[in-house]
């Protein structure tokens, strides 16, 4: 967490802020907010932006190998959308008074977190469908609720992003449905992909409520509107019928419907795997960071050229004035 001590807040300002939150008001960039609220949002939004940017890598890996022009076009468009979401959320973090390059540097030097899911490899074409279906599907469940978060710029970003994520999910599910209705080899490829991505997708929602250090504060300030476990359960309830509809088995022998709660009860999540991945020891953590650093280094000339161009334009307009 943030190493800097949190300053003592003015109790009257804090009480007024909490009353606004309780009344369901939206907090805007120029409004007073406790330093801790600002830091929590910066942490969460920057991790989210980094996830979008790193999230381009597993799918980008398959653009040259898409099996048809149509599939290639939609995959390129999806990856491009993810870049856009990243930029959009970095813009949102800047409304909190931080510089996006400082945040991006934390990603490059490995001190910032990004979603655990993007540290798993994409081994087969079916992974492109399964990422759309399960990973975007999980992201939508989380982000639909974040669209009602108390911080205005983040909430508005989520409304827009969710629209695109919905489209991503649909194209992913359509790809899965096509493979499910295909040859035995295609069906086997799909099933193998679901077996690999199911549990990591459940981990996207974060640790169980009892082990989530940030949840209580974020819920109190209505940054989060539902707990990690509530959202995970909603995702499972939505996804099980979708798997059944295309004849895919979810890799959980304990999965069963509870008629009383109307929930699909699922088996135990391997939290040791989750913590290893977020500590940097997942299957692809090093590869992902190396790829982002390489892209940053190779893009240096573009940044330098843009800065030189900007300086030249500024000099011209000073001359003309």
In the complex, the residues that contact ligand FAQ under the rule CB under 6 A are 1, 43-44, 47-48, 51-52, 55, 82, 113, 115-116, 131, 135-136, 139, 142, 203-207, 212-215, 218, 228, 278
Query: Nearer Cβ to ligand FAQ, position 1 or 23?
Result: 1
Q: Tokens representing 250?
A: 């979810």
Q: Rounded to an integer, what distance in angstroms lies between the CA atom of residue 289 and that of residue 319?
A: 44
Compute the least distance from the CB of residue 69 to ligand FAQ, in Å. Answer: 22
Query: Nearer Cβ to ligand FAQ, position 276 or 300?
Result: 276
Compute the least distance from the CB of residue 156 to ligand FAQ, in Å. Answer: 15
Crossing angle between the packed helical segments 285-298 and 100-108, to the nearest 10 degrees: 130
Query: Nearer Cβ to ligand FAQ, position 228 or 239?
Result: 228
Query: Nearer Cβ to ligand FAQ, position 35 or 188?
Result: 35
Residue 159 Cα to chain centre, angstroms: 14
Q: Rounded to an integer, what distance in angstroms lies between the CA atom of residue 132 and that of residue 140?
A: 11
Q: Rounded to an integer, what distance in angstroms lies between the CA atom of residue 165 and that of residue 76?
A: 14
**CB nearest ligand FAQ: which residue?**
55
Segments in the chain forming alpha helices (H) = 11-22, 35-54, 56-60, 69-94, 100-108, 126-130, 136-146, 152-180, 184-203, 215-220, 228-245, 271-276, 285-298, 300-320
> Between the CA atoms of 5, 147, 196 and 249, what dihedral angle is there, to the nearest 10 degrees?
140
Compute the least distance from the CB of residue 71 to ligand FAQ, in Å. Answer: 16
Geometric angle at alpha carbon 53, from 49 and 55, rounded to 5°:
110
Query: Nearer Cβ to ligand FAQ, position 183 or 272?
Result: 272
Compute the least distance from the CB of residue 236 to ligand FAQ, in Å. Answer: 15
Query: Nearer Cβ to ligand FAQ, position 216 or 315?
Result: 216
Query: Nearer Cβ to ligand FAQ, position 34 or 182?
Result: 34
Compute the least distance from the CB of residue 269 to ligand FAQ, in Å. Answer: 11
Query: Nearer Cβ to ligand FAQ, position 112 or 188?
Result: 112
> Between the CA atoms of 119, 125, 126 and 127, what dihedral angle is there, to the nearest 10 degrees?
10
Compute the least distance from the CB of residue 187 to ligand FAQ, in Å. Answer: 23
Compute the least distance from the CB of residue 148 to ligand FAQ, in Å. Answer: 13
Query: Nearer Cβ to ligand FAQ, position 76 or 188?
Result: 76
How far, in Å, are 28, 91, 312 from residue 319 at the CA level? 39, 32, 11
Compute the least distance from the CB of residue 44 to ligand FAQ, in Å. Answer: 4
Compute the least distance from the CB of residue 177 to ligand FAQ, in Å. Answer: 19
Q: Rounded to an integer, what distance in angstroms lies between the CA atom of residue 274 and that of residue 113?
A: 13
Nearest to 35 by CA among 83, 79, 90, 98: 98
Backbone angles phi, psi at 39, to 5 degrees: -70, -40
């Amino acid at each position: 967490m943030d190493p800097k001590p949190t300053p003592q807040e003015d109790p009257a300002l804090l009480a007024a802020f909490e009353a606004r939150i309780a009344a369901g008001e939206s907090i805007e960039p120029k409004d007073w907010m406790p330093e801790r609220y600002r830091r929590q949002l910066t942490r969460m939004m920057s991790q989210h932006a980094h996830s979008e940017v790193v999230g381009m890598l597993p799918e980008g890996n398959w653009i040259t190998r898409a099996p048809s022009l149509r599939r290639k076009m939609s995959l390129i468009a999806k990856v491009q959308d993810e870049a856009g979401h990243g930029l959009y959320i970095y813009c949102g973090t800047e409304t909190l008074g931080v510089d996006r390059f400082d945040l991006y540097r934390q990603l490059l030097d490995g001190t910032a977190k990004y979603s655990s899911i993007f540290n798993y490899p994409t081994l087969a074409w079916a992974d492109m469908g399964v990422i759309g279906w399960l990973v975007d599907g999980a992201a939508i469940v989380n982000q639909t609720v974040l669209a009602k978060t108390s911080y205005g710029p983040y909430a508005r970003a989520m409304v827009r992003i969710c629209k695109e994520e919905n489209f991503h999910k649909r194209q992913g599910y359509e790809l899965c449905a096509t493979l499910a209705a295909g040859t035995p080899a295609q069906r086997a490829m799909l099933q193998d992909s679901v077996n690999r991505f199911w549990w990591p997708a459940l981990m996207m929602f974060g640790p169980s409520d009892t082990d989530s250090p940030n949840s209580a504060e974020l819920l109190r300030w209505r940054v989060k509107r539902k707990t990690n476990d509530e959202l995970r359960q909603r995702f499972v309830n939505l996804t099980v019928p979708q798997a059944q509809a295309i004849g895919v088995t979810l890799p959980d022998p304990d999965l069963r419907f509870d008629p009383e709660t109307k929930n699909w009860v699922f088996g135990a999540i391997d939290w040791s795997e989750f913590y290893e991945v977020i500590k940097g020891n997942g299957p692809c953590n090093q590869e992902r960071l190396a790829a982002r650093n390489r892209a940053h280094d190779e893009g240096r000339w573009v940044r330098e050229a843009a800065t030189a161009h900007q300086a030249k334009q500024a000099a011209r307009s000073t001359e003309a004035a």
